[in-house]
């Protein structure tokens, strides 16, 4: 296994090194349309080479697994200067070993899953009023709505995973809805807001579906110093690329009153992002609250999910950046279920990990190599029982956006 790993790693690094210093094409392939319209074509993938050192339960020997952690094809652009659109498809998990302890699920059935990831359009009335309609991520929680392609850590933190299940029932965190958002840029202070309503339809949220209950979302961000973005957008970056000097402080809440399965379903929390020269620092804490019927009454339960991560960036020749990263993240079920490592009322399961490593950003996020080590503890099932145990793996990776 060691020789195979070194061979693959050398091949990936040699292939990438051949692109070092070359001028890549513009950000995306572009097709112009009439009336200032255009269509961008995006191809994006992450190739992971995961070396599992320890799996929960010690029933899986060390192994190597090379697969496409994320693979996307998208079409976006604008009809005119006011109306923007995006349709994205996913074929994640190609070649993933089901026994690998890394994040993500295999693409089963001979890698046949190719599905819609996002489909929405945004109409810009003015900078303060932007209306988005379609299938997309409810604007709640920094780690969930910030794209994986612009992440400073190797993998996203836990607030990107179970909170999505809690809100919409889907691991991808998407739902059909309407969102009103705006951005006000100032000299020293800038503000971003989002207000949304979503029609949840996943069986784990609506149950039999006799009760119609929409999901309401709200998020606000106050930016001190340099803002994160130039204008209102649905995509954000966690790194300041050694250019931004600013602090962002955010808060969000979601609420769903009642379905056939529960009532008063909430996610609320706060986050912060500091980009100051070579330093990128991010933190987020979410509380997940729900009341669930139990023996004719309602049982109240609260889970939590949080992440703290940072990166130190160093300049390299040809505008490259060497990024040293460290992350601690966890999802923890309600304390009364700690012994079970899983909350039976919300399906929240224990997952705690440390991750550290380095990213070589050859062309920023467009072309990036990573090498990270992950160690943690999570819940698993053995002989029908819920247990928790440690895991660890090494993860060389390649990210390429075309």
Report the CATH number at residue 394. 2.40.160.10
Q: Mean pLDDT throughout 250-254?
A: 98
* 29 — pLDDT class (breaks 50, 70, 90): confident
* Range with top average pLDDT, 22-26, 105-109, 396-400: 396-400
What is the DSSP secondary structure assignment for residue 26, as one 8-state letter? P
**pTM check: above 0.85:** yes
pLDDT of residue 20: 53
- Tell me the HSE value of 297 on the side-chain side, using a 13 A CA sphere: 2
Q: Mean pLDDT throughout 359-363?
A: 95
For residue 21, report the phi and psi dihedrals to the nearest 5 degrees.
85, -10
pLDDT of residue 9: 52
* 60 — pLDDT class (breaks 50, 70, 90): confident
3-state secondary structure of 320: coil
pLDDT of residue 315: 96
* 56 — pLDDT class (breaks 50, 70, 90): confident
3-state secondary structure of 43: strand
Q: From CA 387, how far away is CA 378, in angstroms rounded?
A: 8
Q: From CA 122, how far away is CA 242, in angstroms rounded?
A: 30
CA-closest candidate to residue 322, choices 276, 355, 373, 364: 364
For residue 65, pLDDT beyond 90: yes
CA-closest candidate to residue 256, choices 285, 234, 288: 288
Whole-number percent of the chain with pLDDT over 70: 92
CA-closest candidate to residue 192, choices 216, 163, 218, 167: 218
For residue 172, pLDDT beyond 60: yes
pLDDT of residue 257: 95
Q: Mean pLDDT throughout 329-335?
A: 95
Q: From CA 344, how far away is CA 160, in angstroms rounded?
A: 20
Q: Mean pLDDT throughout 88-109?
A: 91
Q: What share of the chain is helix, strand, coil (3-state, %, to 5)?
A: 10, 55, 30
Q: Mean pLDDT throughout 366-395?
A: 87
pLDDT of residue 59: 72
Neighbours of 186 (CB within 10 A): 10
pLDDT of residue 320: 93
pLDDT of residue 173: 95
pLDDT of residue 10: 52
pLDDT of residue 25: 58
The secondary structure element, H or E, covering residue 109 is: helix 108-111
For residue 36, pLDDT beyond 90: no
* 61 — pLDDT class (breaks 50, 70, 90): confident
Tens-digit pLDDT profile for residues 154-165:
999 999 999 999
Q: Mean pLDDT throughout 64-89?
A: 94
* Range of the structural domain that residue 235 is part of: 2-401
The CA-based diameter of the chain, rounded to the nearest angstrom, is: 67
pLDDT of residue 144: 93
pLDDT of residue 11: 47
Structural domains of the chain, count: 1
Return mean pLDDT, the chain: 90
């Amino acid at each position: 296994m060691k020789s195979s790993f070194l061979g693959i790693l050398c091949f990936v690094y040699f292939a990438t090194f051949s692109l070092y210093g070359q001028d890549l094409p513009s950000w995306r392939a572009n097709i112009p349309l009439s009336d200032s319209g255009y269509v961008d074509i995006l191809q994006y993938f992450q190739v992971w080479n995961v070396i599992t050192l320890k799996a929960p339960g010690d029933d899986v020997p060390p192994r190597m697994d090379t697969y496409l952690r994320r693979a996307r094809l998208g079409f976006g652009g604008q009809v005119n200067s006011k109306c923007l659109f995006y349709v994205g498809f996913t074929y994640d998990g190609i070649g993933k070993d089901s026994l690998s302890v890394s994040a993500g699920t295999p693409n089963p059935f001979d890698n046949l899953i190719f599905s819609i990831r996002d489909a929405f359009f945004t109409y810009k009335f003015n900078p303060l009023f932007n209306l988005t309609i379609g299938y997309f991520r409810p604007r709640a929680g920094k780690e969930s709505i910030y794209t994986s392609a612009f992440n400073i850590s190797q993998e996203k933190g836990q607030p990107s995973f179970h909170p999505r299940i809690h809100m919409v029932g889907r691991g991808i965190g998407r739902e059909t809805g309407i969102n009103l958002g705006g951005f006000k840029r100032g000299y020293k202070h800038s503000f971003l807001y989002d207000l949304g309503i979503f029609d949840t339809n996943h069986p784990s949220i609506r149950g039999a579906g006799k009760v119609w209950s929409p999901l309401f979302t709200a998020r606000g961000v106050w930016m001190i110093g340099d803002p994160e973005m130039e204008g209102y957008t649905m995509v954000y970056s966690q790194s300041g690329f050694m250019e931004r000097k600013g602090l962002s402080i955010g808060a969000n809440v979601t609420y769903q009153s009642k379905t056939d399965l529960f009532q008063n379903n909430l996610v609320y929390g706060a986050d912060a992002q500091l980009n100051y020269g070579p330093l990128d620092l991010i933190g987020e804490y979410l509380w997940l609250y729900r009341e669930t019927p139990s023996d004719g009454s309602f049982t109240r339960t609260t889970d939590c999910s949080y992440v703290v991560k940072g990166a130190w960036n160093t300049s390299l020749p040809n505008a490259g950046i060497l990024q040293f990263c460290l992350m601690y993240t966890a999802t923890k079920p309600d304390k009364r279920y700690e012994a079970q490592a899983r909350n039976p009322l919300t399906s929240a399961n224990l997952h705690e990990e440390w991750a550290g490593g380095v990213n070589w950003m050859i062309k920023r996020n467009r072309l990036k190599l990573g090498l990270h080590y992950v160690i943690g503890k999570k819940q698993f099932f053995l002989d029908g029982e819920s247990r928790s145990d440690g895991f660890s793996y090494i993860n060389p990776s390649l990210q390429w956006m075309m």
